[in-house]
Amino acid sequence: MEQTELRPRAAVRPVTPRQRAARAARNGGEPTLEFVDRVPYDAYVHASTLHRLQQPLSDDPGEMSFLMVSQIMELYFGLTCHELRDTSRLLRADRVWEALAPLRRAALHLEALNAAWRGLRWMTPADFNRFRNLLGEGSGFQSAMYRHLEFLLGLRDPALIRPFRRQTEVYAELTGALATPSVWDEVIALLARHGHDLPAELLERDVATEHEVHPAVEAAWVRVYADAGPDNHLRLLGEALTEVAEQFGDWRHHHIKAVQRTMGAKVGSGGSAGLAWLQRSMARVVFPELWSARTAM
Binding-site residues sit at 132, 255
Task: Determine what percent of the chain falls in helix, strand and coil, rounding each to the nearest 5.
Answer: 65, 0, 35
* Nearby residues of 201 by Cβ (< 8 Å), 6 or more positions away: none
Whether 145 and 167 have beta carbons less than 8 Å apart is answered as no
Three-state helix/strand/coil letters over 15-46: CCHHHHHHHHHHCCCCCCCCCCCCCHHHHHHC
Q: Annotated binding residues for substrate, as ranges?
A: 132
Q: Residue 157's Cα: distance from chain center in Å?
A: 17
- Crossing angle for the helix pair 144-153 and 233-263, to the nearest 10 degrees: 140
> What type of residue sits at position 122?
W
Residue 163 phi, psi dihedral angles, 5° rounding: -60, -15
Please give the sequence-ordered ranges of beta strands (E in DSSP) within 131-248, or none if there are none.
none
Distance CA 186, CA 224 (A): 16
Distance CA 225, CA 218 (A): 11
Q: Annotated binding residues for heme, as ranges?
A: 255
